Amino acid sequence: MKTSPLRWGLLSTANINRAVIPPLRASNRNILTAVASRSLASAEAYAGEWKIERAFGSYEALLDDPDIDVIYNPLPNHLHAEWTIKALRAGKHVLCEKPMGLDVVEIDAIAHTARDAHKVVAEAFMYRHHPQTLKAKELVDSGRIGKLQAIRGSFTYNMNTNVNIRLVPEWGGGSIWDIGCYPISYARFIAGSEPVEVFGQQVTGLTGIDDSFFGQMRFPGEVFAQFDSGFRTPFRAHMEIIGSEGILTIPTPFKPTLDEQLSLYRPEKTELITVERQELYIGEVEDMADCILNGKSPRVSLADSRANVAVIVALLESARRGLPVGV
């Protein structure tokens, strides 16, 4: 079995790297070793800026380096599956940004390749590792809000531009793929099951992607979820979990900071619950180390990733057809 530290390579110089670099450097079991870009000049400039040991002028060159153990894949959505599979075939473990794929066929191909390569691959839903999320799940499962009835969530921001990779349909553009995936994932996690039927409506932008999306999900046991996502609305991010005896509110569910509190309303009182302090992105980095070094299963499993993609695809189909769609 591989021993630490695990040597990581960044597959591109994407902006999101700046969130992953600090936890890699804070970890005793992981070390940032290399970065790749589509040109050597770009890679070397980035490596110099971030004090990264090695720079590669192509993604293939990074994958060919036998000293790299783990690849972080932050490429645009439509390249996630392709380069995750290439990295697995090159003998690398992979932490891939969300969404890992744009349909279940891509997720199944990743899963098949990972099994054949005996490598770990996980989707980078960083919020799923945070103590705030785990505490919310614990409170619901322990019955603190009574029987779970409904879940509501939102994630929106004002993009203020018409030129962005998130607006390109062929590249997996759209608010539901970019940010709507978060409240969908959160609702599925809290419900502890998969929706049996969904209904979606969208406001279509200039390029044909959903500038705004409004969705409903029906879970087994008469549990319902509603969410909205959007690129043309001021920033909003929240989750509300409603039960027969109480309401749990998570004010910053997707990017919690060090000091967060959950609000648990019950008729007799409202309780503020403080959660354990933890840097947001450290959880997914340490989870990869646990899986690779200790044989643990990823907290965000491939089955979980597949199910989230299946729900998104069904919601988009529902919006196109104007009808509820089974999942």
Q: Choose, from 98, 135, 137, 147, the residue flagged as catalytic.
A: 98
Q: Is 98 a catalytic residue?
A: yes
Of the candidates 86, 97, 269, the residue with the CA atom closest to the CA atom of residue 166: 97
- The third-level CATH classification (topology) of the domain covering 6-124+282-296 is Rossmann fold (3.40.50)
Rounded-to-integer distance, Cα 206 and Cα 213, Å: 15
Rounded-to-integer distance, Cα 220 and Cα 222, Å: 6
Q: Give the homologous superfamily in CATH for domain 127-280.
A: Dihydrodipicolinate Reductase; domain 2 (3.30.360.10)
Encode the chain (327 residues) as per-residue pLDDT tens digits.
677 799 999 999 999 999 999 999 999 999 999 999 999 999 999 999 999 999 999 999 999 999 999 999 999 999 999 999 999 999 999 999 999 999 999 999 999 999 999 999 999 999 999 999 999 999 999 999 999 999 999 999 999 999 999 999 999 999 999 999 999 999 999 999 999 999 999 999 999 999 999 999 999 999 999 999 999 999 999 999 999 999 999 999 999 999 999 999 999 999 999 999 999 999 999 999 999 999 999 999 999 999 999 999 999 999 999 999 999
Q: In what order do the strands lie in the sheet with 93-96?
A: 54-56, 30-36, 6-11, 70-73, 93-96, 121-123
Q: Domain residue spans in the chain?
A: 6-124+282-296, 127-280
DSSP per-residue letters across 239-265: EEEEESS-EEEESS-SS--SS-EEEEE
The token pair at 233 is 């609305």
Of the candidates 130, 129, 68, 126, the residue with the CA atom closest to the CA atom of residue 93: 68
